[in-house]
């Protein structure tokens, strides 16, 4: 292994000896792929079988964008139980949720099968007290806040 790098000698020797065409192929990244109908079925199942579902970049414990992180903070502050999917896992899921909702951005929050909104809408509803009311009207318990 070359110190400070990720190349090993078996990878670099063909270049040094002038036989670059003999170099090994780089390892392929394993990536899950889905047929779009499978993605739509997955999305539909998550939306309809979970009272609250968040499509986000990253996970609730490790959001990968500030907007997803804001929605997670709001849901956690309200004590709402929810499930989530990381749209960064596949390109198909990331595009599929946008097509499903006809909404161009992520995160996307669904309550009782209904698309509620993305970060800006969720934040505005929360600040106005409307999000808490929306959850309560849907029969979803929220933590009482001061």
CATH number 3.40.30.10 given to 36-137: yes
Domain regions of the chain by residue span: 36-137
Examine the pLDDT at 6 and tell me if it is beyond 50.
Answer: no
Q: Tens digit of pLDDT for each residue in 7-38?
A: 444 444 444 445 545 545 544 544 455 566 79
**Residue indicated by tokens 């599929």:** 96
pLDDT of res. 33: 53
pLDDT of res. 123: 98
Flag the least confident range among 2-6, 17-21, 22-26, 123-127: 2-6
């Amino acid at each position: 292994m070359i110190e400070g790098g990720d190349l090993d000698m078996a990878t670099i020797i063909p270049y040094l000896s002038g036989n670059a065409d003999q170099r090994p192929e780089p390892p392929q990244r394993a990536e899950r792929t889905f047929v779009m109908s499978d993605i739509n079925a997955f999305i539909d199942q998550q939306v309809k079988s979970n009272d609250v579902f968040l499509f986000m970049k990253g996970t609730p414990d490790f959001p990968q964008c500030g907007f997803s992180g804001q929605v997670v903070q709001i849901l956690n502050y309200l004590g709402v139980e929810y499930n989530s999917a990381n749209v960064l896992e596949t390109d198909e899921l990331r595009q599929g949720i946008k097509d499903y909702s006809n909404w161009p951005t992520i995160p996307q929050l669904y309550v009782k099968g209904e698309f509620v909104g993305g970060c800006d809408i969720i934040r505005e509803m929360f600040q106005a007290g409307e999000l808490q009311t929306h959850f309560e009207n849907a029969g979803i318990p929220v933590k009482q806040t001061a």
